[in-house]
Amino acid sequence: MINAINDMNTNTTTIEREAEQFIRLFHEETGRSSEDCEIRLTEVARSLRETGTYRHTIEEITYGARLAWRNNSRCIGRLFWESLEVIDERGATTEEAVADALLRHIAYATNNGRIKPTLTVFSPEQAHGESIRIWNHQLIRYAGYNTPSGIVGDPASIAFTNEALRLGWRGQGTKYDILPLVVQINEREPRWFPIPEAYIKEVEIVHPEIANFVELNLKWYAVPILSDQVLDIGGLRYTAAPFNGWYMGTEIGARNLSDADRYDELPAIADKLGLDRSTNTTLWKDRALLELNAAVIHSYKSNGVSIVDHHTAAEQFMRFMKREEENGRSVNARWSWLIPPMSPAATPIWNRGELKEREVKPDFVARQCPYHNQQ
């Protein structure tokens, strides 16, 4: 009992310290008065004494989420951090309500292709471990099946697909089955919810010059909505806070569809292009990769879906760095994540190996996968 009390006191002290740091930063950066800041700090301190926690205003959450994007070391697209829109769903207390809110997020963020950077925030983790958790890595992702004749679909999704199957979901067994939403509240058994087809915008991958490229039957979904991270703001952990920007083309063309442990489409593309795969010296992988990435960019743009190429994204990141430096802030950055997976040496980030990663809050924080723990 004494240890439990000590742990609770330590946790409250940590929350109070981080809350003060965030509240002061929020008031400073948003131009609020020092008097308002002290009043708010008094309110927070009183709530922490009486309940062990406190509640953010929607303005605080919105700015905290934007700061988390600004601070995240692995994101190249932070130039647009101030444009993030936040949807407050802290009132959702059932699995059905959470799933409905997630569908609203998908529809709002997709915006018929004119993608809006969006974050939906649910209630934060409570002192006794109560929390809302989304098991999906991304709200929209393709299933992966380990069959006797080989893997069908996305190999990266096999473990999650198996969990969805265990819970009762059934897909059609194709390369591009949309996985369900899986929501867990507290320690209850997670529940799955289908994503209606009307919510899913997909892009067929065609090439602007190679007519038979379409015969490869490649496609990808429009919006990457990360949903398995914790949003850490002012000592509060929002364990369900799905967030999206838009795709950088190489995420699809140089990773998802190309990696040998993902869809591994480069050999089929090379054959379609008539390339010699008998030796690496023909650079068939490079040539196939280039044409696939050209096709991805062309396909998204011709379908009116927001996307950015890796050269433009790198230039935007350099503009972000310049703005941060002008505002007296150092940029938190993991260089190995910021260089794109295609032609990295041709981007200005390549020569910025001095970039450093540090712990800074607010931020998006990874957490241990729940279903891997059960295997």
Residues belonging to the active site: 75, 78, 246, 251
- How far from 269 is each of 20, 154, 258, 369, CA to CA, in Å? 55, 17, 10, 34
CA distance 38 to 51: 20
* C-alpha to C-alpha distance for 286 and 280, rounded to whole angstroms: 10
**Are 244 and 118 a contacting pair, CB within 8 Å?**
yes
220-224: long-range contacts, CB 8 A cutoff, minimum separation 24: 220/252, 220/256, 220/257, 220/296, 221/140, 221/141, 221/142, 221/178, 222/110, 222/113, 222/115, 222/247, 222/300, 222/305, 223/106, 223/109, 223/110, 223/115, 223/140, 223/247, 224/138, 224/140, 224/251
CA–CA separation, 373 and 260 (whole Å): 25
Cα 75 to its chain centre, rounded Å, is 9
- Complete edge-to-edge strand list for the sheet that includes strand 243-244: 85-88, 118-121, 243-244, 225-226
Instruction: Give the contacts of 127 (CB within 8 A, at least 6 positions apart).
Output: 8, 11, 52, 53
Question: From residue 110, how far is each of 201, 202, 212 by CA, in Å?
Answer: 8, 10, 29
d(CA 301, CA 307): 7
- Whole-angstrom CA distances from 212 to 216, 268, 272 are 8, 12, 8
Q: What is the DSSP string of 111-142?
A: GGGS---EEEE-PPPPTTS--EEE--SBSS-B
Q: Residue 28 — φ and ψ, nearest 5°?
A: -65, -50
